[in-house]
Amino acid sequence: MAYRKKSVSGQIVLYICVLLILGFVLSPYLLGIVTSFEREPELVARPPFPFKAITLVLDNYIYILSYEPFRLAFIDSTLVAVTTTCFVMIAGSMGAFAIAHLRFRGRNFLFNFVVVVYMLPALAMLIPIVVLLKELALLDTILGVVFAHSILLLPLMTWFLIGIYENVPADILEALQMDGTSRIRALFREVIPLSRFGFFLILVFSFVTSWNDLMFANTVGIVQVKLLQPRILEFMSASRTLYTQMAAGGILSSLPVVVLAIALQRQIIAGIMKGAIK
Amino acid sequence: MGTVQVENVSKKFGERLAVDSVSFEVRDRELMCLLGPSGAGKSTILRIIAGLEPPDTGTIRIDGKMVNDLSPKDRDLAMMFQSYALYPNKTVYDNLAYPLKSSKVPEPEIKNTVSDVAKTLGITPLLSRLPAQLSGGERQRVAMGRAIVRKPKAFLLDEPLTNLDAKLRVNMRAELKRLQRELGATTIFATPDQLEALTISDRIVMINQGRILQDGAPNIIYDHPNNIFSATFVGSPAMNILDCSIEEKDGRLVLNSGDFTLHVSELAEFIRKGTSQSEAVLGVRPEHVVLTQERAGPSSIPAEVYVTERTRPEQIVHLRIGKTMMQAITPLTFQCDAGQRVWMTIDPAKIHVFDKHSQNAIV
């Protein structure tokens, strides 16, 4: 063992620090979980700390899951996030591949353009996008939200993908070219599999951003289209806030993200291990 | 197999002229070497021939047919990259099979061809491995194999041996030559290593700063370099190059380096014809500087041994004549040590004389 053996007290201090940081980071989420299993009267009757013995019930989840608009919003949100992610990954990959590996006039301009657009605050784009969608008669449609999310995500994800695809050696692409592989085939059959870890990371990032979006979902979707986050927000109104139901909705809406994050972590660890055992 | 003709090809990258109206022809079954320092434009020329880079001007012909507008795969050439560019996520078998699969060769034929090629190169036991699990030499063989499976009209090899360690490089050099002869493959091979070029190629095209300096058989390049760059780039240790003036002494023509003079009356006619200037550059290969302990004749020049390098089986003796430094190759049996005085004799028939301004050979 190359490492110095740490003293027991040192270990204890270390673990306490880790627990404190974890507690700080996770406390809102944990509190949300607890709240989602509580009855509202009990919740409002006491402050969150210190904990008292509470009765955990499934009422909130039963309510949420039997609440038809929520189920529809779940489906719609899935549809939006999946479509947006597919579009962003395909279009972004093509753009990133071109900027990373093809030499053409205007390449640097395009690259800079992508960077500048990505730096614009999302809020600055909100009004123009809404106006544009209204003109296209896409306001308050699923396609409209997909469109808005794609505009928001495409520059950023393209920018990330450029960095990822640049790592594929140019020689390999030229060898593919010599062997008669078309560019599109080279991208989808060789470049993406070679950069699959980065690709998967960006994919998850796209999905999560679209899934968690409230601002665009709440502006582009009005009556016909209510996605998950705006639907959860509805539990909070001027007159009354349904805390426990809202918490249950929030926890449910976070499940796909948590699952993806765990899957991603496995992929990343697999990627690191693969690099280590050469 | 086929021929490759390059006619007046130029290529600019931004402001830099990477290839400057280059023309040469590679004959059928010839092993031709593009020799030049890094950045000379060798790779660019190969890439232009391959079709990976369009030339600004000029034409490329393969078997007499202009291919400028053909895509790389339709030119029927195979290129081997300096980095080998093996597909990292494919096994050796799949790497070798890939060019055939792309050109829609039927599966059983692919199997046969790949196993033949693997046998030729001695990589049959490696077929199921991934490139990351291969040594440098093995990767080089696989890259070679991927080039030969398709039986192209010509091979373009971009520094195929540069990434190997010294000992392996010498072995693979011979292997490469044997393979080239066995396949009867027209080959263009870029290298910065003059020894590689001299030892295995049928013909050398010397390139510097995107321009062809000389085009000829290795012995022509070595014995009759037509400019100072080729003269010093080829040969190790490099040719001794000395500035000198052309003078007349007692009615005979001499080259005066400042520290010694060399009678060159036999060459007077050529020198007079070659230049009207009084300045010239003298070039002498180290093996043409003959050292003796005693004065060997009237033209012997006294010199001091500066240092000796016993390279075995010979030794390189660095000499100091006044302020001039020169190198000579002598057998190890020649006893000398730093500071010792020796005599050197240069055969005027073996010297090279270059024009000082144009750098071109006069004699």
Question: At the topology level of CATH, where does B4-227 sit?
Answer: Rossmann fold (3.40.50)
What is the full per-residue pLDDT of chain B (363 aa) written as tens digits?
689 999 999 999 989 999 999 999 999 999 999 999 999 999 999 999 999 999 999 999 999 999 999 999 899 999 999 999 999 999 999 999 999 998 889 999 999 999 999 998 999 999 999 999 999 999 999 999 999 998 899 999 999 998 888 888 998 899 999 999 999 989 999 999 999 999 999 999 999 999 999 999 999 999 999 999 999 999 989 999 999 999 988 888 899 998 999 988 888 888 888 888 889 999 999 999 999 999 988 889 999 999 999 998 999 999 999 999 999 999 999 999 899 999 999 999 999 999 999 999 988
The per-residue pLDDT for A85 is 97
Cis ω for the linkage preceding B313 (within 30 of 0): yes
Chain A: residue nearest B149 by CA? Answer: A179
CB B260 within 8 A of CB B289: no
Split at pLDDT 50, 70, 90, the class of A7 is confident
Distance separating alpha carbons of residues A68 and A62, to the nearest angstrom: 12
Read off the DSSP letter of residue B6. E
Q: Which of B72, B84, B88 sits opposite A178 (nearest CB)?
A: B72
pLDDT in tens, B29-70: 999 999 999 999 999 999 999 999 999 999 999 999 999 999
Question: Which of B243, B245, B196 minimizes the C-alpha distance to B35?
Answer: B196
Integer CA distances (angstroms), B248 to A112, B165, B251, B253, B265, in order: 68, 52, 6, 5, 10
Domain ranges across chain B: 4-227, 240-355
- Mutation target to probe the A interface, by most A beta carbons within 10 A, among B11, B70, B83, B90 is B83
Position A259 pLDDT exceeds 50: yes
Distance separating alpha carbons of residues A132 and A174, to the nearest angstrom: 41
Position A2 pLDDT exceeds 60: no
Alpha-carbon distance B197 to nearest alpha carbon in chain A (angstroms): 24
Distance separating alpha carbons of residues B41 and B34, to the nearest angstrom: 9
State the DSSP H helix or E strand holding residue B78, giving kind and residue range, or none if neither: strand B77-80
Phi-psi region of B209 (alpha: psi -120 to 50; beta: other; left: phi over 0): left
Amino acid present at A81: A
Question: At the topology level of CATH, where does B240-355 sit?
Answer: OB fold (Dihydrolipoamide Acetyltransferase, E2P) (2.40.50)
Split at pLDDT 50, 70, 90, the class of A123 is confident
Kindly state the average pLDDT of the residues A105-123: 88
The per-residue pLDDT for A46 is 67
List beta partners, residue B208.
Answer: B211
What ipTM was predicted for this assembly?
Answer: 0.84
Alpha-carbon distance A127 to nearest alpha carbon in chain B (angstroms): 42
Q: Using DSSP bridges, classify how beta strands B4-13 and B16-26 pair: parallel, antiparallel or unpaired.
A: antiparallel
Question: Which of B70, B54, B73, B76 minimizes the C-alpha distance to B9?
Answer: B54
Interface touch A174/B52, C-beta < 8 Å: yes
Question: At the topology level of CATH, where does A67-234 sit?
Answer: MetI-like fold (1.10.3720)
Integer CA distances (angstroms), B91 to A149, B117, B131, B290, in order: 40, 15, 7, 56
Split at pLDDT 50, 70, 90, the class of A3 is low
Interior CA angle at A259 toward A254 and A265, to 5°? Answer: 125
CA count, 13 A, side-chain hemisphere, B98? 29
Domain ranges across chain A: 8-57, 67-234
Split at pLDDT 50, 70, 90, the class of A124 is confident
Q: The tokens of B358 are what? A: 């144009």
- State the DSSP string of B231-245: HHHSSSSPPEEEEEE
